[in-house]
Amino acid sequence: MGKHISLVASDSFKLGAYRADPSEPAKGGVVVIQEIFGVNHHIRAVCDRLAGEGYAAVAPAVFDRQQPNFDCGYSPDEIANARKFVANPDWAAMLRDVQAAIDELKMDGPVAIMGFCMGGTIAFLAASKLGGLSAAIGYYGGQIAKNADQKPKIPTLLHFGDKDASIPMTDVGAIKQKRGGDCEIHIYPDAQHGFNCDERGSYNEPASTLAWRRTLAFLQRHART
């Protein structure tokens, strides 16, 4: 369903991306932002799934500035290696790359952004800092609490698991306190970090199913023609 494409950021950097398009004219577009594992099979599958729901989806390779075409799985060694990319993240550069993906989709109707883990934080930052978006969705964004003073300019939906070892409930409470008035926030019982990914041991089918249903309803309300 999908294909690999190239994007050009505002500083002329050329990066890769994965794009999936629906068989019919798109309802809108969704930028999908990776975890630390690159635009891997799971992220491509999310794009394909969105295309199946009628949305054009683009996942920019936001690690291309550090290591082009990075893509890995979830073994302990792979996870340890992937962490190097976020030891000192250049959020500004990644947001430039995200803006290129937004611009790629603007001809397809309203554009939303959806991110997972690191990508969930980027989706939240994009909601407050970037243009051309109509909605943002973040799954278990670990740095959202540190950036919770940023006010999203667009409707924003956030998903968290209450058993997430990376994101304590105190962080989610701080996000709710600061952003509860302008973000829709859901907490999923017994869900760990990465609960949406059916390729990880932390996959939680009930949480994933409910979060996806809420995500599609959110897109239906805020990001479709």
**Residue 43 in this model has a pLDDT that exceeds 90:** yes
Count of alpha carbons within 13 Å of 199, Cβ hemisphere only?
A: 12
Q: What pLDDT score was predicted for residue 225?
A: 75
pLDDT tens string 130-158: 999 999 999 999 999 999 999 999 999 99
pLDDT tens string 85-116: 999 999 999 999 999 999 999 999 999 999 99
**Residue 224 in this model has a pLDDT that exceeds 90:** no
The superfamily (CATH) of domain 2-222 is: Alpha/Beta hydrolase fold, catalytic domain (3.40.50.1820)
- Please compute the mean of the pLDDT values over residues 160-174 and round it to a whole number: 97
For the annotated catalytic residues, the residue numbers are: 117, 164, 193
Break the chain into its structural domains and give their ranges.
2-222
pLDDT tens string 56-90: 999 999 999 999 999 999 999 999 999 999 999 99
Claim: this prediction has a pTM higher than 0.85: yes
Q: What pLDDT score was predicted for residue 217?
A: 98
DSSP letter for 71, please: B
